[in-house]
Structure 1
Amino acid sequence: MHKEKACSSIEKFSDTSKAHPAFDTSHDKQTENKTLFEWSVKSIKFPPKEISGLQFLVLGAGTAFGLYSAWVMKGLPNYAIEVILGFATSYSITFLLILLLRQKTVFIYNVGSQKALLQHYKYYPNFAAPLFKGIAIFTILLFLGVALFSGSLLFLIGPAAIALGSARFLLNWENKIHHEQSLPWNEHNFVTVDRKRSMIIIHCTDTTVGFEARLPNEDLFEQYLQFLHSVLPPTAEFTEKAWEW
């Protein structure tokens, strides 16, 4: 989703637990938000153009840092192994970042009579947490071992510093669950329909930000679209175009 402006169509929450007021049954009863549609879908959160640009940026940054580190160390004796290992580390981290950019997100929707609720989190297999922690511990021990073997800690300020920082991140990794909800249906005035990406976005006044609904199939796409025609104000404008954000 995007930063909220003037009249945003979404309210955001962040939690690590699946239990949240936005998805609490008693909360729905109090607001009379009767559930009408429920679905889940796995999709890449970012638009294709943005992913491509970020991939080139990450690859270029990794290459530039590796070349700079090699240039800094070229005059130092007995650092060939460290430079090679540094390059390997730099590109490994770059590859990992590209994978993260293309990481799919699980979206769970609950569309009610008054508003829509959403929770989303990154999709990882069940063994992801112990695997990441194992990789982090192995990386830390590897670079500390190389530093001790070479008899110098200078190696730790090169590409290895980035690797150790990433290892620390993986060691504390947690797959957070984020919660969002739309504003009441009658507060939306614009709708963007992107059939290619199977997305429908509702907006208040700013058509560059809104509540994004990703649909898993064409039938549900049409059902949700017809539902919006029935609950949004009669003056709401529906536009079919590519969603760029």
Structure 2
Amino acid sequence: MDTYITGFDIRRMTGVYNHPTLLGYLSAISFIYLLSKPLSREVFLLLIISFILLLLSGQRGELVLLFACFPLAYLLRVSYKMFGVFGSGILSLIIYIITCMNFESIFGIDIAGDNVVRHVLYAGAYQVAFDYFPLGSGMATYGSSNSAESLVYYDTGIEMLWWFSKGTAFLTDTTWAMILAESGFIGTGVYLFFVSILLFYCVSRNSSIYSCAILSFILLESLSNPTFTSYVYVLVVGFAYALFSGGGMRENSYGD
């Protein structure tokens, strides 16, 4: 897929993938992982290569998340130390409930004329979850690769937007919108709770700032990409989990 960096006539690099998002995603995670290694000439060279690939992918979101994941990583460590694995899962659930209660004021739900695909998907998902309370519209009805013919899109007005006719290229752009619409408020809460438990279990196994940063990056990435539903992304999540379970990431000598 040929796409170009906004504002420049520069083609975004995709590497071996069909979209630059995956290249940016893997480059950013590789960069964080390499930061955990003792600095050497080889590590420094790989850091430069990873960062250049991230820039060439043209993924501004991943570039921002590369820096945003470290503050969140610090919060994950603090939460685990204060509340433990289960308590942190409960805290995540409380934050989710508060967000749902204030969803309209935070995000808005006016779909008509909105060209920001992911914003529309979230707004539509909230509307679907509300209309099909409490367990959502069911599998393969919203935000998944099998939902292109779903009548739910016509109920929300999404079918009138220009990108709807592009099919799954846009409809599968985010994980949580799909889960919210298809599983409802209760199903999403249960799913989020177990994801949080897994997340903080990983922190309990390896709480280095770099390990937590990778987890934070994956979590933030899931807000705008199918991180937990696309097999390519899930492979990366599994690789990250293997790093945690083996204790392979540690604090290096030049950072915390």
TM-score, normalising length: structure 2: 0.24
Higher relative contact order (CA 8 A, sep 6+): 1
Greater Rg by CA:
1
Going by fraction, where is strand more abundant, 1 or 2?
Answer: 1
